[in-house]
Amino acid sequence: MTHRFPVRVYYEDTDMAGVVYHANYLRYIERARSDWVRELGIDQNAMREEDGLVFAVRRVEADYLLPAKFDDTLEVRTTIRSVTGARLIMGQEVRRGEERLFLAEVTLVCINDTGHPARLPANIRLLLH
């Protein structure tokens, strides 16, 4: 299953040449992951408040292929690569039409309120498989 999330490039996202600043790709993929989790029906506020658990980015491997520019319409595509007891690896890419501009492999972990690794709740693991 691939989640798709639209993004419009605003002037504030770019440098003086009208090219998207590299860190903004991380913002785009974060928004897409948050939207995807919400669409799955996972309430991250309840997860934090009731279970003391949150998702945290453990690792990001990124490749910048082509520049996005001011006023481009982009799409972030997110797929699950693997799920373990406490870890979720996702593939994400930013596209302009069929052009791939940015690729990332993101490792998320579940941590408890003390910052230590914790198992993903069973109901969430079921949603991810």
Q: Report the side by side order of strands in the sheet with 73-83.
A: 3-8, 73-83, 87-96, 99-112, 53-64
The tens-digit pLDDT sequence of the chain (129 residues) is: 899 999 999 999 999 999 999 999 999 999 999 999 999 988 888 889 988 999 999 999 999 999 999 999 999 999 999 998 889 999 999 999 999 999 999 999 999 989 999 998 888 888 887
| pTM for the predicted model, two decimal places | 0.92
Using alpha carbons, list the distances in angstroms from residue 47 to 1, 7, 82, 110.
23, 27, 21, 11
Q: Give catalytic status of residue 15 as yes or no.
A: yes
Domain containing residue 25: CATH number? 3.10.129.10
Number of domains forming the structure of the chain:
1
Residues 6 or more apart in contact with residue 45 via CB below 8 angstroms: none
Where in the sequence is the domain holding 19, given as residue range(s)?
Answer: 3-128
Exactly one of 13, 15, 35, 63 is catalytic; name it. 15
Two tokens, residue 50: 């009731």
Confidence (pLDDT) at 85 = 86
Pinpoint the alpha helices (H) of the chain. Answer: 22-40, 44-51, 122-128
